[in-house]
Amino acid sequence: MVWVLFGVFTLLLAVNIPVAYAMLAVSIGYLAWNGNIPFIVVAQQLGAGTDQFLLLSIPFFYLAGEFMAHGGITARLVNLARAMVGHFRGGLGHVTVLSSMLFSGISGSAVADMAALGKIEIGMMRAGGYPLGFAAAIKSAAATLGPIIPPSIPLLVYGSMTDTSVGKLFLAGFVPGFLMVAVTIVATRRKFPLSAWGGWGPLFRTLIESIPVLMLPVIILGGIFGGFFTPTEAAIVAAAYALVAGMIIGDLKLKNIPAILAKVAVESAQIMIILACAALFSWILAREQIPAQLAAIALSHHTEPWLFLLVVNLLFLFLGAFMETIPIMVIAIPVLLPVVKALGIDLVHFGVMISLNLMVGLIHPPIGMLMFIVMSMTKISMQEYVRETWPFLFALIAALGVVTYWPEIVLFVPRYFYG
């Protein structure tokens, strides 16, 4: 029955049924076929999918991004990235990666990064002569850096589940440069335009102009580590700061705020609908014990740490193709945790590895959330998206391999501060 479920789900996606409706239709079909589960479960799971305190951060980080974009402040961040790396081959692709890294200190959310910078960066690359599919692919891949760089929602969830220091996890957040390597390779092969180096003067000026944006990560992280507010409350602080900064030093007008609020409400609702339907779909997978069965099979045959980590990565990459990040963590980590401890694997290293792994799932079919957001934003087909994304998907998987088998690359900073 489970494989029929996956087959029908894949078929619905293939005929361009929206992912939320595909998950909902397949889930209701499963309940009707089973016959022993009351349909009230649909309402219960749809509600449970969005009844999470951390999800409150999504509309507020969306709001912060919109305030910055309408106030012209986010453009300063992009200009700074362009002054720093725009002169390299494929420079606008590098600008997208770097600006996503900088914005990650504000949001900690791949979805918020896509909402705040996606249209600006994709439009910038299109104006620079880059193919639309390439622009969409590199932006979706760059947005995965958000949940890896603190503040990171997946690392917060992992820390609470495993009783691991969130401070250590945040310090271990590893930002791979693999995406920039992939951009360079693709840009060189396709002979993308090469811009001239603007000099130190323009770089210094854009740095000064970007201080209002660069201060926001300092305020957020300082407030979190100082104990002044939680990461979710940090989203409210970010929105308030962006509102004030946009009106004082930017071009944000009071008359624009109602339209911005309406836009944020619609975009947040679209994401919540996907999360709600994903919760029902994930509940069915959990009820069929698919993650637990896969984990049990993996654990019963592999006891060497390096082989165990390989199997775990393959398991999470597979689950990430069909389930959302948080449900995977909630279902699989409690099963894996005893073995992780028994094999002596560092919990901080394991948490960063898992977070990076799950970020890969955001951009690959069949239900990668960033994939569907960028497809909706650019109106490209799934075939075009997949064709352009594979170099960056490969780069993220290569980064995952380095993090998996070179623990010190993520542990040396927390060990320096914590011992």
pLDDT single digits (tens) 48-79: 777 766 667 778 877 877 787 777 776 676 77
Domains of the chain: which residue ranges? 2-418
pLDDT of residue 176: 44
User: How many Å apart are CA 344 and CA 79, to the nearest integer?
Assistant: 45
pLDDT surpassing 60 at residue 341: yes
Looking at residues 141-154, what average pLDDT do you find? Answer: 70
399 band by pLDDT with thresholds 50, 70 and 90 = confident
Average pLDDT of the segment spanning 131-150? 77
Choose between 106 and 324: higher pLDDT. Answer: 324
Region of 365 (left: φ > 0; alpha: ψ -120 to 50; beta: rest) is beta
Higher pLDDT residue, 227 or 180?
A: 227
Write out pLDDT tens, residues 14-27.
777 777 788 888 88
Instruction: Specify the pLDDT at position 387.
Output: 83
Cα–Cα separations (whole angstroms), residue 231 to 113, 226, 247, 327, 339: 16, 12, 24, 20, 30
Task: Please state which of the ranges 143-157, 227-241, 276-290, 308-322 shows the lowest mean pLDDT.
Answer: 143-157
State the Cα–Cα distance between residues 28 and 34, nearest whole angstrom: 10
CB of 66 closer than 8 Å to CB of 267: no
**Which one has a higher pLDDT value, 373 or 168?**
373
Residue 290 one-letter amino acid: I
State the sign of the Cα–Cα–Cα–Cα dihedral 231, 344, 398, 133.
Answer: negative
Nearest residue to 144 via CA among 183, 106, 114, 177? 114
Instruction: Calculate mean pLDDT across residues 240-263.
Output: 85
Mean pLDDT, range 171-198, rounded to an integer: 62
What is the structure's pLDDT at 391?
Answer: 81
Distance CA 160, CA 253 (A): 40
pLDDT tens figures, 343-374: 888 888 898 888 888 888 878 777 677 787 78
pLDDT above 50 (res 395): yes
